[in-house]
Structure 1
Amino acid sequence: MLKPLSVFIGLRYVRSRQKKGFSSFISASSTIGIAIGVTVLIVVLSAMNGFERALATHLLSVVPHGEVVAVNEPINQWRKNVDKIAQTPGVVAAAPFIKTQGMMQKSAALKGVEIRGVDVMLEQQVSAIASYITAGNWQDLARDNAIVIGAGIARKLSLQVGDNVQLLLPPSDAATRSGNKITQFPVPTKQQATIVGVFKFGGTIDDSQVFINLAKAGQLLGYQADEVQGIRLKVSDVFSAPQIVHDAAYSFDFYVYMLDWTRSHGHLFNDIQLVRLVMFIVLVLVIAVASFNIVSTLIMAVNEKKSDIAILKTMGAKPSTIMASFMFQGLMNGIIGCILGASLGILISLNLTEIIRAMEAMLSMEFLSADVYFIDYLPTLLRQQDVINTVTTALLMSLLATIYPAWRATKVEPAQVLGQS
């Protein structure tokens, strides 16, 4: 602990330094540099936290948390198997699906799509897609030949609710065979469909995803009434999805592929973590540069106060007292910088989304487009631990910067200094 005498001397030196122009400027620049570094680091970490939360709550509300997909034979008695998987620890809900790649045609225009056959009611338990319907009604998907498409597909093919389109699907296994002979050039299955809904989620999902009802998908692709291709899972902890899907698959009676969101969209989470790490390192270096300005400030203070140090030593002041006095003097820059930086960082982080929206309105431009990213705003989430870690790091760097100048102060020889005066 700092001795009261050390604190008293340190505060006296801080007040006297404020009256001297150049020393005061160097001291203020180090304080401002630390404050700016702390502010920016807190804001950046809050933005990264916001993106991470948006990934978990927004993107993964539509993207499957996990899937078990049949390897050889379709999954039969799907209702019983869905109930069985739903009982796996960590699984919130499960729903069947049949998916395939195909083409959508309107007049002469074609668009490649992923066709996903789903149970209209059970799908709502594992996906929030129904809440993103902007035209039409999700429940109408239960009708025969009904289809729900993404806004990107609707824009590409100039479609709206009520329009008729033609789906071109790969033929079923039975259709590719003629007796025991495999047809070399199988004819794609054609199916007329009526658009009953358009959803707008954002990103590439709007440009590729198409939903039809499960019974129709099974009929088109050659599945029996109680057969499905796979079962989709919704889990309680999205970051534990790989392990939960693994547990669910191993309790299953079929050979299945185990898929989870970290394979399809895990790169987004990895990108967030990489940016967080890089920005943390860069901004900590900024704080370090600002902190080590304290070195030059204290060295000047030691040179100016040599006679005072000599007098203190002749009066019996211990080296530890003198060293602590100068360390406290330098640490004040870090403390003030951290207080200012943390206060400003917290204030900006709590209002970051509104600040960016105001800037977008002022500049008449959009920083994040929903057509490219899965959100059209800059999210933010302030965490107490990030503030504590940032402030602690800045204070430790400030403290380290004071050690060498303070140690030099203890090496002042009273006889040499007082003999010259």
Structure 2
Amino acid sequence: MLKPLSVFIGLRYVRSRHSKGFSSFISASSTIGIAIGVMVLIVVLSAMNGFERALATHLLSIVPHAEVVAVNSPITQWPKSVARIQQNPHVIAAAPFVKTQGMMQKSAALKGVEIRGVDVMLEQQVSAISRYMIAGNWQDLTLDNGVIIGAGIARKLSVQVGDKVQLLLPPANLNKQKDSETQQFPVPMTQQAIIVGVFKFGGTIDDTQVFINLVKAGELLGYQADEVQGIRLKVDDVFAAPQIVRDVAFDFDFYVYMLDWTRSHGHLFNDIQLVRLVMFIVLVLVIAVASFNIVSTLIMAVNEKKSDIAILKTMGAKPSTIMASFMFQGLMNGMVGCLLGSSLGILISLNLTDIIRGVEASLSVEFLSADVYFIDFLPTLLRQQDVINTVVTALVMSLLATIYPAWRATKVEPAQVLGQA
């Protein structure tokens, strides 16, 4: 006999069980339950991986990976600081910036905005903003009084490229006035600007962000020619950004704030991790419930095969052989379920984006809106390790479910069973 006795007996029992009506139904239900649990878990994990990748590649292509911002006084001689920061092996690029909160007005319409003064050339090394221009050109930011705004701001103010708007900014010397004569309600500074470009990225960034030339922003906010408020970093590992910006900040000889994307948008990543954990636990429990249906199947099989077990014992079969036979019989359900579930899960995960788009088109609905989220599609990324972990988890649960019924089979007394026969 080429196969072990326990495997041979287990396969015989599996084939004979398929002809039993109720036993066959219970066995099929456990197999289908395991397959569904494995399939859904693989799909959910792939979707969570896709969101992580979208967070790292899409959102963080615009949102700063990290920033060092001056505390008491501006960063002087910023070209030297940028060059020194770029010597860090984990920093891909660095660019200066000046930012402030303000208002943008067009006729009677008014919108609160964050105004960010940037170097036109260096900003393209740390940000992909130029790829999201839907009107105008990023290079036009060098024009005098030119500004680039988000699509949400343009829609709110009903403006387009070439229109003139008014910026309301805090006074340049507001932070320098320390005497008691400082006005409690200072009059905002006004500045005429021309819309030279509009970008559309998605999410709240379109509703708040305004870009202006670094030199012009420095003049408006009272900075000298070589002074900036902070320096933005682009790092090689976004999930190591907190440590990288800390290392960079320690090289400065003056105080700076250490900011990174985990402070401003880290909640998105934390939400993804939380959903992943909750869904993993829920779906593992689904697999567990389906796996323990194997208990019912095997207990019925043990009751049906008592006479066979008694004969095997009288012929000298060891309890381990009998136990292994029934464990293998139950494990077959888990193996078939894992095979079906993993195959369907991989197939769906690889085509999940197209499937969801097809559902959206057929139902005329939109599950993800770019105006609310930073993407308008359901991303997916299938990882081999997730498939392996899911299949191993399901197989282990299936194996655990077979232990008790198989142990019960070893407790059959041949004298009682054959005597009744």
Q: Please state which band the TM-score falls in when normalised by the shorter chain.
A: over 0.9
| Alignment deviations for residues 111-165 of structure 1 (CA, whole Å, 9 cap, x no partner) | 0000000000000000000000000000000111000000000001101000000
Please tell me whether residue 387 in structure 1 is matched to residue 379 in structure 2.
no
How has the CA–CA distance of structure 1 residues 284 and 179 changed in structure 2, closer, same or farther, with 3 Å as cutoff?
closer
**1:378 matched residue in structure 2:** 378
1:89 deviates by 2.4
Q: CA RMSD in A?
A: 1.3
How has the CA–CA distance of structure 1 residues 175 and 250 changed in structure 2, closer, same or farther, with 3 Å as cutoff?
closer
**1:362 matched residue in structure 2:** 362
Secondary structure in 1 matching 2:234:
strand
For 1:58 and 1:114, the matched residues in 2 are separated by 21
**2:277 matched residue in structure 1:** 277
* Equivalence map 1:38-49=2 (5 Å): 38-49=38-49
Please say if residues 176 and 182 of structure 1, whose CA atoms lie closer than 8 Å, have aligned partners that are also in contact.
no
1:405 deviates by 0.1
* Equivalence map 1:4-153=2 (5 Å): 4-153=4-153
How has the CA–CA distance of structure 1 residues 195 and 25 changed in structure 2, closer, same or farther, with 3 Å as cutoff?
same
1:176 deviates by 7.1
For 2:260 and 2:321, the matched residues in 1 are separated by 61
For 1:309 and 1:133, the matched residues in 2 are separated by 76
**2:306 matched residue in structure 1:** 306
Stretch moving more, 176-185 or 158-167: 176-185
Secondary structure in 2 matching 1:288:
helix
Secondary structure in 1 matching 2:154:
helix
**2:261 matched residue in structure 1:** 261
User: What TM-score, normalized by structure 1, do the two folds share?
Assistant: 0.98
1:273 deviates by 0.2
| Alignment deviations for residues 48-76 of structure 1 (CA, whole Å, 9 cap, x no partner) | 00000000000000000000000000001
Please say if residues 176 and 183 of structure 1, whose CA atoms lie closer than 8 Å, have aligned partners that are also in contact.
no
For 2:64 and 2:243, the matched residues in 1 are separated by 15
1:179 deviates by 9.2
Please tell me whether residue 345 in structure 1 is matched to residue 345 in structure 2.
yes
For 1:312 and 1:183, the matched residues in 2 are separated by 99
Moved runs in structure 1, 4+ residues, more than 6 A?
none
Secondary structure in 1 matching 2:36:
helix
- The aligned amino acid for 1:346 is I
Stretch moving more, 200-209 or 182-191: 182-191
- The aligned amino acid for 1:276 is R
For 1:333 and 1:164, the matched residues in 2 are separated by 71
For 1:27 and 1:178, the matched residues in 2 are separated by 81
| Alignment deviations for residues 278-334 of structure 1 (CA, whole Å, 9 cap, x no partner) | 000000000000000000000000000000000000000000000000000000000
1:183 deviates by 3.0
1:185 deviates by 2.8
**1:215 matched residue in structure 2:** 215
For 1:86 and 1:25, the matched residues in 2 are separated by 66
How has the CA–CA distance of structure 1 residues 340 and 178 changed in structure 2, closer, same or farther, with 3 Å as cutoff?
closer
For 2:36 and 2:272, the matched residues in 1 are separated by 23
Please say if residues 175 and 186 of structure 1, whose CA atoms lie closer than 8 Å, have aligned partners that are also in contact.
no
Q: Percent identity?
A: 85
| Alignment deviations for residues 193-213 of structure 1 (CA, whole Å, 9 cap, x no partner) | 000000000000000000000
User: What TM-score, normalized by structure 2, do the two folds share?
Assistant: 0.98
1:175 deviates by 9.0
1:88 deviates by 1.4
For 2:237 and 2:379, the matched residues in 1 are separated by 21
For 1:146 and 1:179, the matched residues in 2 are separated by 35
Count of matched residue positions in the alignment of Structure 1 and Structure 2: 420
Please say if residues 177 and 183 of structure 1, whose CA atoms lie closer than 8 Å, have aligned partners that are also in contact.
no
Secondary structure in 1 matching 2:412:
coil
* Equivalence map 1:110-259=2 (5 Å): 110-173=110-173, 177=177, 181-259=181-259
How has the CA–CA distance of structure 1 residues 387 and 163 changed in structure 2, closer, same or farther, with 3 Å as cutoff?
same
For 2:224 and 2:180, the matched residues in 1 are separated by 21
For 2:159 and 2:8, the matched residues in 1 are separated by 78
- The aligned amino acid for 1:24 is S
For 1:311 and 1:290, the matched residues in 2 are separated by 32
- The aligned amino acid for 1:258 is M
